[in-house]
Structures are given as structure tokens and as C-alpha cells.
Structure 1
């Protein structure tokens, strides 16, 4: 199993450590690719719409985004970690996800995404973790990822070194359970009804001319306007 660990912070705090604990329960170190934001992708989306209207390769930050995109493409499980910032994900995580708007179902969904599993992990000393996780999950749902688990943890500390043994024990137990689920469903995650309905709605729109030429041509090329479906081989 190959794992991508996308961290919405540069430092290795509580959220990062929980993500790494889970990753190591899924596979060996050599099968884990780590990304740190904003270190590895420090730019904000400029809103130029080049990715939508023409090609993602024309994004002004393509040279930064593409290596991370390849890591995501080649991984079986995607683990996104973010500390909770004012009840939402970190700004660097949001800036990163903004660069993948072209991948949403309404534009150019990639078939490989429909076969992956994902985990969104967020910690805070107090609350807001679930909102931070959902902030990321929204994008992953529209990428077509069939199963995304939310792992929201109140650690009651701002430093990983100060997290109590009781909380650490709960984290170990929860990561054990989550690792078993991810292994059990490896390669078997099923696309839910909501995603299928949304796909068919967009398919109809693309057959009628779509939002732009690049999207329409992509759907025709992939066969999605006919019988081909991204979740089927």
C-alpha cells in the first residue's frame, strides 16, 4: 500500500504525528511520501481560470503543484492533516486545494481518484476539529474519492510532547481501528449514490455543451458522455 501524507503545516506537531502514526500502521516507511505545506507549495491560486478553461498545465504554479499531484496519483491512501485554525483547515491547505478545482466532477474528474481512500485528520487544544476536517473532505468528495474518514481529536495541548498518556492511548486505539478499515477496503471502496447522481447530472450538462470547451472535450475523450464510468475499469 502506498500512502501520501499531505500536511497542512510545516512543523511536526500533534496533527502531523497522528498522521504519521496512522501511515506507519498501513505500510512501511519507504511507501510513505510526505508533503509539507506551505513549504512544498507556497503559492495562492491567482484565479486566472487557466486550469478550468484550458489545461491545468497552464497554471502559473504548475511546476510546484505537479510533483505533489503525482504523489497523490500514485498513492492508494491519502492522509490530509491540518491543525485547526479558527475552526477550519490551515490557510496553506486551503491554498493547496484551490489549485485542484479543475479536478472536481463538474470539470475534469480523474478515474484513479474513484479507487482511493482518504483520511482527514485535525487536532486542536479545544474544538473545531470536525469543521476543519470537513473543510478538506468537501474537496475530496468532489474529486470522486469514494470513502473519506474524519479523524478529529481534541489533544488539550498546543505541543505534542505535552499530550497526556490518556489521550495518546485513545489515539493509538483509534488509529488501530482506522488502519484495519483502510486495509479491509483497499481497492474495494465503492462510489456512493450521491457521487453517482452528481456524475450523471454533470454528464447530461456536458452532453449539452458543458461549461467550457476543455471540459467537454475531456468528457468525450474519456467516454464519460457515453457508457464509460470513472469508477469502472
Structure 2
């Protein structure tokens, strides 16, 4: 299994520690683990030019320097692990900028077929509240990317992980690791993801969003009997 950990900050604090704990519990011998750190691996903000949606994602101003490498790593991964601390009730600005670059991959446009066979885990920590909203920032994108199975964990840790919270975290991480399917051929999309796909399929059949999008769906055979999870 190929695991990709995408960290919403360069700081290796409580959130990163929980993410690493999860990977240690999940990864088996022979699995590969790669890590990305933001903003180092993607320092640019999305410009909102929409050229990726209207024309081609390869025309994104950041494609050659950053996006091509990141997209290849995402597509090769079987399990995506996102970590971010809560900043003002949301993900870090670095992670938001990263997710913004993948608007063209939302199901309303041109979802990548391999997403419908992937698993993802989103992890966040806060000094107090805000974990629910922060997790939603990540799961919204992953769900609309078409990721088959998405799991989340958020916890308030105050100033850091102390002895009183460590046992609770370890139990939660162990339970999370047990949910991960190591036989990737058995991973199938949730009913919610399938329902979203069918809604977008109907829309593409009726009117489409752009000519580029409709052609993409036609070439994939998704307007007919083909489905990305089969």
C-alpha cells in the first residue's frame, strides 16, 4: 500500500505526532510512506484564473513547478493522510491553497477515476474548539474528489499532548487504523460518494458544465454504463 501524508504546516507539533502515530499503526512491511509539507511543497496560492477548469489543468501557472509532482504522488497513493492544526476554526492557509488548486477535480468537473478506490484520513488538533469545521474543510474536497472512504479524527489538546490525553489518542488511533482496508482491491465508494457521482452524471448528460468537462465524461464512458469504481 502506498501512503501519502500531506501536512498543512511545516511545524511538527501535536497534529503531526498523531498523524505519524496513525501511520505507524497502519503501515505494514513493504508499504511505502511519503510526506509533503506545506507551504514548502506548494507555496503558491490559486490565482482563480479557472484555466484548469475551462481548458486544461496542465495550463495552470503552477503545474510544471509544483502541481505535476504533487498530482502524481496523490494518484499513486492508496491512502491519503491529511494533517492540519485548527487555525481560526479552519485548516491552515497553506492547506486551503493546496486544495484550491484541485477545483477542476471536483465531481462537477473532471474527477480522477483512481480516487474512487482510495482511502483518506483527516486529522486535526485544536487548543479548544474548531475541529469539526476544520475536518469539514478537508472532507468536502475529498468527498467531491470521489475518494471512496474518508475517516476523521479531531481532538482538543490544549498546549500539547500530555499523559492524560495520550492514552485516549492512542486508543482512537488504533481504532482508526483498524478501519483501513489493506487489500486495496476491496475498497469501494461509500453510498454518499456514489450518490454524488450519479447526480453529477445526470447534470453532465443534460447540460454539462463546460465542453471540456462533458467530453471528459463521455471519453470515460461514465455517461453510459461505465463507472470509475468498476
User: If the length of structure 2 is used for normalisation, what is the TM-score?
Assistant: 0.94
- Deviation string 1:77-125 (CA, Å, 9 cap, x unpaired) is 1100000001111111110000001111100011110011111100012
Is the 1:124–1:155 contact (alpha carbons within 8 Å) kept by the matching residues of 2? yes
Confirm or deny that 1:134 pairs with 2:132: no
Q: Which runs of 4+ in 1 moved over 3 A?
A: 183-187
Tell me what 2:156 maps to. Answer: 154
Deviation at 1:201, TM superposition (A): 2.4
Confirm or deny that 1:180 pairs with 2:178: yes
The alignment partner of 2:153 has SS state of strand
Is the 2:111–2:146 contact (alpha carbons within 8 Å) kept by the matching residues of 1? yes
Tell me what 1:58 maps to. Answer: 59
Tell me what 1:190 maps to. Answer: 188
Deviation at 1:184, TM superposition (A): 6.1
The alignment partner of 2:179 has SS state of helix
Tell me what 2:205 maps to. Answer: 207
Tell me what 2:107 maps to. Answer: 105
Is the 1:54–1:214 contact (alpha carbons within 8 Å) kept by the matching residues of 2? yes
Gaps of 5+ in 2: none
Is the 2:8–2:84 contact (alpha carbons within 8 Å) kept by the matching residues of 1? yes
Partner Cα separation in structure 2 for residue 132 and residue 23 of structure 1: 21
The alignment partner of 2:87 has SS state of coil
Is the 1:155–1:167 contact (alpha carbons within 8 Å) kept by the matching residues of 2? yes
Partner Cα separation in structure 2 for residue 11 and residue 197 of structure 1: 38
Partner Cα separation in structure 1 for residue 84 and residue 69 of structure 2: 20
Partner Cα separation in structure 1 for residue 72 and residue 25 of structure 2: 23
Deviation at 1:21, TM superposition (A): 1.2
Cα RMSD (Å):
1.6
The alignment partner of 2:125 has SS state of strand
The alignment partner of 1:182 has SS state of coil
Is the 1:130–1:150 contact (alpha carbons within 8 Å) kept by the matching residues of 2? no
Partner Cα separation in structure 1 for residue 127 and residue 96 of structure 2: 21
User: If the length of structure 1 is used for normalisation, what is the TM-score?
Assistant: 0.92
Q: What are the residue-to-residue correspondences of 1:1-233 with 2, within 5 Å?
A: 1-27=1-27, 31-63=32-64, 64-157=66-159, 159=160, 163-183=161-181, 186-232=184-230
Is the 1:84–1:122 contact (alpha carbons within 8 Å) kept by the matching residues of 2? yes
Gaps of 5+ in 1: none
Partner Cα separation in structure 1 for residue 146 and residue 76 of structure 2: 16
Is the 1:26–1:183 contact (alpha carbons within 8 Å) kept by the matching residues of 2? no
Distance 1:129 1:29, change over 3 A: farther
Partner Cα separation in structure 1 for residue 139 and residue 73 of structure 2: 18
Partner Cα separation in structure 1 for residue 49 and residue 130 of structure 2: 32
Partner Cα separation in structure 2 for residue 47 and residue 231 of structure 1: 31
